[in-house]
Amino acid sequence: MLEYKGRPNRLGIWGWLGGGRWGAERYLYTLHRLTGLGLLAYLLMHILVTSARALGQQAWQQAMATVAGAIFTLGEYAVFVAFAFHAINGIRLVLIELGIGVGRPIEPVYPYRTSVNVQRPLAVGVMIVAAVLVVLGGLDFFVLK
């Protein structure tokens, strides 16, 4: 991570809310962080709750009974949606990190062109895949059971 000497990150987390000229990808970045934080919070609780299986059937069933009910089902679906988004958007971020899907480097000659438009089809594509997963999950959670 870069050290900011004399140039603090003045916007802080409020900077997440402003897309500015980065457009939709900036909001995907914000959503990626928010879903990441949500998934981390869930993971920490999940480790504690599911460790009950090591204590036998009764402890397991007791633990599962404490997290049963409509509110927990909705919460679990929210976790599934966050996972679908974070995982599929994460694939996009790794591809971009590796220089895939961002177009070839070009000379910075006026009028300048932005690579954001080159990346846009990838962003749209991964969001469609994430949406399909969200719908499949919704079917599983609320329709087929």
Q: With respect to another protein, which residue has the nearer C-beta, 75 or 117?
A: 75
Q: Is 85 in the site for another protein (CB under 8 A)?
A: no
Q: Which of 23, 60, 116, 131 binds another protein (CB under 8 A)?
A: 60
> Which string of x and - marks every residue 86-105 that binds another protein (by CB under 8 A)?
-x--xx--x--x--------
Q: Which of 70, 71, 109, 144 binds another protein (CB under 8 A)?
A: 144
Q: Is 51 in the site for another protein (CB under 8 A)?
A: yes
Q: With respect to another protein, which residue has the nearer C-beta, 75 or 113?
A: 75
Minimum separation from the CB atom of position 89 to another protein (A): 11
The string of DSSP letters for 83-119 reads HHHHHHHHHHHHHHHTTTTS-------SSP--THHHH
* 26/79 Cα distance (integer angstroms): 22
Q: Which of 21, 107, 109, 145 binds another protein (CB under 8 A)?
A: 145
* 99/90 Cα distance (integer angstroms): 14
* Nearby residues of 130 by Cβ (< 8 Å), 6 or more positions away: 84, 85, 87, 88, 89
* Nearby residues of 25 by Cβ (< 8 Å), 6 or more positions away: 116, 119, 120, 123
Closest residue by Cα to residue 98 from 129, 124, 77, 122: 122
Which residues here bind another protein, judged by CB under 8 A?
1, 4, 8-9, 12-13, 33, 36-37, 39-40, 43-44, 47-48, 50-51, 53-54, 56-57, 60-61, 64, 76, 80, 83, 87, 90-91, 94, 97, 136-137, 139-141, 144-145
